[in-house]
Structure 1
């Protein structure tokens, strides 16, 4: 029995939220671990510990490399928007995340397949289960078995830590602060898996799940749980009712501040950081984190500025409201007035129209961090009508029939009525629109886009 690999190890925690019993499960899901293992073996993934272990093993041969290549080509990614909600206030449904959810919540691949029928085409689902089945023994041999003893001890320690520090109470704090709710019949499932030879852990949350690969030498769990709660707060924010989200949206839209739109686009990540990396970490550690809370400077700095107000609302058991939004916008405007003109900030949320698809890749290389990206390859009345509906930075790159295309753009944006363009000359023009988003027009003739982007100030 000592060497037997169990399909999962299950430990559970419970809490009471608003008088309702919410169940938290901490577990190891082998099915999920193998799925993530296969993802990391893809040629499209950067170098990582899973790929390193595989490449130096006897399984690094044409048979398995071909299998991984086939897995990588599976059409697993479909999505739909929740159209009735304010734009970007609710995460779109993602089929890959639902598949991962089902891998966590089922005990074998047959149950997973039955649960997942209809999410992707059946032939794709069948192939996926075959690939997981074939890679499972390899994952066990290369990753799980060598780290089994350490990982299972970690799983026990993590559960003990959760109980001792009443981690579930922070979930309740989030529900109150966000004015959100949770159905007591839906358990919150947390799945960990080992990450050997690493000095970091990963984190992702979706639906009623949090997943994390943890380094096998991890012993201090306050960082792990502050990040876990950070990701969980995204879920709680996502589960706000249509009424609450509409009220918040209106509070930002009706603000007279020209900074309100970009402050709003930053809100979700800022609040999760202030709550998870600020409030949760401070409570677990006994004092605030002095290092960076978030790797992106705009989120990190704004989270620190809003943190005192967040703590005040938590202490008074108040939910986010118009007063909170107004103070948030004022802090943004007062402390960071230049942000709405800084390319690294405004290009995080962008809608790009270009007739050259390679331009999208160029922009991704130049502005690697992006939260929302929409793309279109047609400069037309219809494409700009769609663009104008979204509160994102609007980038239009003109490289063909410049005079005609610039004329169309000018007619579609009332703010350009007095603008005099020079179709025969290269330029980069930026203007703040009435919806408080930036419009950037790039007129390209001979220079590469990279060079033109350097002039964007």
Structure 2
């Protein structure tokens, strides 16, 4: 039997002064989104977390609710499409799951959510999603929200006050100028928070016109929260650059003669968000630069710190990114980190893999967990190689049968392989830098497992 309840939606919001041209900035709590995130964290595919711990020790850890969790995690709600007219990788692929979360934040009840989301995913799937959220709303409130309600509401009050006192909206304007981007004033920027009990950290993401973050109920450092918040927001501002600006930046990178220009380009989005959010914003809020790591990734962290003086000069002078900035950025990359274009942990973050063994994809994901852009194909054909050739990602081809024919196809497609000597009867792992300045990795697998073969790459 369904539990019919009256749900009281609590919205805490703050309208700050303005972004750009009078765009409002709102901070709120969205119960619908919080329950959706709660269900995600209860999935068996998610690692252990505080939500899963509270549920597993509760009276609701029974077959009925386990079946709902299983039903939720099997829902197909993630579809995507690219903005094909933009240079590859310069604009985020649109994800239906992001829009569903946006609609959860911006609607007051599940019926409005379903009406707004109709047509985005199949109606049956949308209905099932609504039922899962409805069933788990009272469970979420009993286990998570209500026990932390007083502390969480106090946190929201403090976050609102901190936003006012430090004029956080000004940092949005700073990003618009630096990225040479724009924002429609009629579209509010909404930040949704939800409580994260018994935790020393917080999570954050951004999409569309939304920022989402779990916050620990005893959060002390608002400068950390807001520097991360602006980091994620800067990804949105970068994404909203016009086609003209995106094309110009793409042209600057491709025209640069450095062998490092492609991989420097792949790193750009995350590096700039780190520079502005974890560098510039943090320094403004704290009075000094963060002496620790700015990002939990060696390549992003070190590059962000190296280009910070250059970026800060542009920010202080209210100058947008231009050709001079891009050229200096690439030069800093090549001067300080010339070997990065050969380090697999770096270049496999941006990968296009073709193999005829589907299990190889799992091995690749296990070996290179951090990934920004991935493309996978399960057939080594002339057309799949041609498609891969057009994309400026690291290209990995894993040959495990018909080696002579597959090698012939590769040599026909890549002029850089004209003088390449490969014995189809022997196992090898070769890496070649292509004209587009991406690495082509060719693995001819005979007896070794894939992990061992990858370790042979020089």
TM-score, structure 2 length as denominator? 0.98
SS in 1 for 2:12: strand
Matched residue of 1:13: which SS?
coil
Answer with 361-370 or 56-65: which moved more.
Answer: 361-370
Identify which of 5, 12, 15 aligns with 2:14.
Answer: 12
Cα RMSD (Å) of the superposition? 0.9
Contact 2:203 2:213 in 1 (8 A): yes
1:252 equivalent to 2:253? Answer yes
Separation in structure 2 between the aligned mates of residue 311 and residue 238 of structure 1, nearest angstrom = 21
CA contact (8 A) 2:16 2:164 kept: no
Query: Structure 2: how far apart are the matches of 1:314 and 1:152?
Result: 35
C-alpha separation between the residues in 1 aligned to 2:405 and 2:390? 23
Cα offset, 1:353, TM superposition: 0.3
Partner in structure 2 of residue 287 of structure 1: 288
Pairs aligned (count): 453
Separation (CA, whole Å) in 2 of partners of 1:221 and 1:17: 21
The CA deviation string for residues 207-255 of structure 1, in whole angstroms up to 9 with x for no partner, is 1000000011102210000000000000000000000000000000111
Contact 1:13/1:163 (8 A) holds in 2: no
- Give the drift of 1:54: 0.1
**Shift, 1:9, TM fit:** 2.1
After superposition, the C-alpha distances for 1:10-59 in whole angstroms (9 at most, x for unaligned) are 221223344x2110110000000000000000011110000000000000
Distance in structure 2 (CA, Å) of the matches to 1:199 and 1:5: 30
**What is residue 188 of structure 2 aligned with on the other side?**
187
> Partner of 1:139 in structure 2?
140
CA deviations 1:178-233 (Å, max 9, x no partner) are 00000000000000000001111000000100000001110221000000000000
- d(CA) in 2 for partners of 1:17 and 1:59? 44
CA distance, structure 2, for counterparts of residue 385 and residue 447 of structure 1:
28
Give how far 1:407 is off. 1.2
Structure 2 alignment gaps of length 5 or more: 1-5
Matching of residues 93-242 of structure 1 within 5 Å = 93-242=94-243
1:307-326 equivalent positions in 2, closer than 5 A: 307-326=308-327
Partner SS for 1:54? helix
Asked if the contact 1:154/1:219 (under 8 Å) is kept, the reply is: no
Partner of 1:300: 301
Distance in 1 (alpha carbons) for counterparts of 2:105 and 2:141: 17
State the alpha-carbon separation in 2 of the partners of residues 8 and 96 from structure 1.
23
Distance 2:338 2:8 in 1: 55
Q: CA deviation at 1:422?
A: 0.8
Aligned equivalents of 1:396 and 1:61: distance in 2? 46
* SS, match of residue 17 in structure 2: strand
Aligned to 1:89: 90
**What TM-score, normalized by structure 1, do the two folds share?**
0.98
Cα distance in structure 2, aligned partners of 1:136 and 1:368: 33
1:336 and 1:5 map into 2 onto residues whose CA distance is: 55
